[in-house]
Amino acid sequence: MSLFRKKSIESILKNAEAESPHGSLAKHLGVRDLTAFGIAAIIGAGIFSTIGKASADGGPGVILLFIFTALACSFAAFAYAEFASLIPVSGSAYTYSYVAFGELFAWIIGWALIMEYAIGNVTVAISWSDYFTTLFHNVFHVKMNEWLCLDYFTAKQNFGLVNELLKNGKSIEEINKAPETLGLIEGYAAYRTAPQFLGMHLIFDLPALIINVLITMLVYRGIKESRNASNMMVVIKIVVVLVVIFVGAFYVNTSNWDPFLPNGLPGLLKGISAVFFAYIGFDAISTTAEECRNPQRDLPRGILYSIIICTVLYVAIALVITGMVNYSELNVGDPLAYVFEKVKSLHWLSGVIAVSAVVAMASVMLVFQLGQPRIWMSMSRDGLLPPAFARIHPKYKTPSFSTVITGLLVAVPIFFVDINMVTDICSAGTLFAFCLVCGGVLKLRMDPTAPSSKFKTPYINAKFIVPAIFLICLFLLVFKDQATLQFYLHVDSFTNFLTKLPIYFFFVGFAIFSVMAFRFNFSLIPSLGLLCCFYMLSQLGHKNWLYFSVWLIIGLIIYFVYGRKHSKLAHSIK
């Protein structure tokens, strides 16, 4: 069937040079630039924002979640590195899936990646706005109107919640002091004071919109300019993060690390989407393959170096902030600045952190804004999107139309989305992509005619290891963790069944995969990458699976209405 017809690597490499009416992309990137892009993407909203919520849920033990997530991402990174070396073009996981699984899977993953890059940038833009408004207030002592710093639906929801609390006898001061209701007042004030037009409250995040426009303009201007800006921003934020770690270490109270897992394993796993969101972005390096001077050598190094560096920094930061204050206080939008504001002698550092956060999250937006247009460019080359998406600017040598559309796709949701929902959906799309890339490496390894990559993931036979891991997990669950087993098996309603459905899928999939690993002698590292990412996907909750499924259905409708009819591969088969 043409739906699953695969593209040859030779044709992909040929099309990358031949399809553009204005020639190829400009090649300016080396291993140092790629590593910087990776750090730019990873050290951002995760370390300056979502780490707070994850620490509040999991306690000091959140470092275990960072380490586990880093291992999962490292396994996936090996798969990305192997594909990037084998197919040095801009399509990333979309192109890799086209080679390994065929056109339909390629479209699905290309569509899912919109959730990682474009939709993910919505979260980053909103987090950037939080830090910018705090910095603006501290420097100029002028507070921006709340209705210019928040999305409409969050403001409306918070307004309703605060009104309920007021009716129940709570005062504004009490609501503002309680950790669990601290963040509600801003939304309440925004909705109450916002101007109205035709009965509609005008509430939008102006700083988030402004940074999106500026980043889009920079990415449109050229890869060289983007590279220089990224390198500069990475230096600034790495220096600040190291200062935070070394200074904060002197104010750590080890009693705050006890209990290490205050909410147990369930509490720790509540932070999985926030922690995973902190790592996504390293794969965006692979979208710049056509702009690398030596992609086969430099892409694998850049991907792996960036993950190692960032993991060390994440673990150190998590230990410092959970040691300086009790974990329960960290569910705030700017946890690092909050922690250092608590120490009078370190107030100066909270300002430095705010500046660094503004820079750090701008660099994340830059890398994500680079990635999305290049994936669309690859999809357009294959005929799955209109030709305009493959248009390269004759002067700037960037995918101009795709870049503008990406900017618009980020700008529109800023008006109305909730940051937590976007984080979870973004994580779902990314984990799905990681699973397919790891599976793609396993698929190619089973094909004796597949070309060899210059970078090859070390082969360790998973024939006995993966089934053994499955049996050990099953044994521990059945005989050592009766409470968790009863929780999974006890179903008292359809809603309760839906809640547990993702973990059921994981265990069934794990069992099937164990049999396949035994039969086909799978390679261990991509196998562990697939299983780890699949497990994290199962922990995101059934609502995120539902949102993700709806997103995929919309994508499939577009594919069958437009993509399949215009597919160049399908036409070549005819």
For residues 10 and 99, what is the distance between their CA atoms, to the nearest angstrom? 10
- Non-local (6+) Cβ contacts of 399 within 8 A are 25, 373, 374, 376, 377, 389, 390, 391, 392, 393
Length of the chain: 574
| pLDDT confidence bin for 78, thresholds 50/70/90 | confident
In the predicted model, is pLDDT for residue 180 greater than 70? no
Residue 186: its pLDDT value, please? 76
> Among 9-23, 61-75, 331-345, which stretch is predicted with the lowest mean pLDDT?
9-23
pLDDT, one tens digit per residue, over 446-495 is: 877 766 667 778 888 999 999 999 999 888 877 766 676 676 777 777 77
| pLDDT confidence bin for 26, thresholds 50/70/90 | low
| 332 vs 432, residue with greater confidence | 432
> Among 102-106, 143-147, 366-370, 567-571, which stretch is predicted with the lowest mean pLDDT?
567-571
Q: Map residue 197 onto helix, strand or coil.
A: strand
Residue 21: its pLDDT value, please? 47
Residue 315: its pLDDT value, please? 86
Q: Map residue 491 onto helix, strand or coil.
A: coil
Residue 530: its pLDDT value, please? 92
Mean pLDDT score across all residues of the chain:
80
Query: Which CATH code, of 1.20.1740.10, 1.10.3720.10, 3.30.70.260, 3.40.50.720, is assigned to 30-139+208-440?
Result: 1.20.1740.10
pLDDT, one tens digit per residue, over 501-556 is: 888 888 999 999 999 999 999 999 999 989 988 888 887 777 778 888 888 899 89
φ, ψ for residue 201, nearest 5 deg: -70, 130
The amino acid occupying position 208 is: A
* Bridge partner residues of 523 (DSSP): 461
* Bridge partner residues of 29 (DSSP): 292
For residues 207 and 148, what is the distance between their CA atoms, to the nearest angstrom? 8
Residue range 143-172: mean pLDDT, rounded? 79
CA 254, 259, 263, 266 dihedral sign is: positive
Taking alpha carbons only, the member of 510, 500, 481, 508 closest to residue 545 is 500
Residue 13: its pLDDT value, please? 64
Residue range 68-85: mean pLDDT, rounded? 83
Residue 464: its pLDDT value, please? 93
Residue range 325-352: mean pLDDT, rounded? 75
| 106 vs 281, residue with greater confidence | 106
Residue 80: its pLDDT value, please? 84
Residue 467: its pLDDT value, please? 94
| pLDDT confidence bin for 153, thresholds 50/70/90 | confident
- Non-local (6+) Cβ contacts of 258 within 8 A are none
| 272 vs 17, residue with greater confidence | 272
Indicate the pairing of strand 196-197 with strand 200-201. Answer: antiparallel
- Non-local (6+) Cβ contacts of 330 within 8 A are 51, 52, 53, 55, 56, 321, 322, 338, 339
For residues 112 and 498, what is the distance between their CA atoms, to the nearest angstrom? 22
Taking alpha carbons only, the member of 222, 218, 248, 221 closest to residue 233 is 218
Q: Map residue 292 onto helix, strand or coil.
A: strand
In the predicted model, is pLDDT for residue 104 greater than 90? no
In the predicted model, is pLDDT for residue 568 greater than 50? yes
Residue range 244-269: mean pLDDT, rounded? 80
CB 282 within 8 A of CB 44: no
**What are the start and end residues of each CATH 1.20.1740.10 domain in the chain?**
30-139+208-440
Number of CB atoms found within 10 A of residue 495's CB: 9
- pTM exceeds 0.85: no
pLDDT, one tens digit per residue, over 194-249 is: 888 777 888 888 888 999 899 999 888 877 777 788 788 888 888 888 888 888 88
Residue range 294-312: mean pLDDT, rounded? 84
CB 106 within 8 A of CB 385: no
In the predicted model, is pLDDT for residue 9 greater than 50? yes
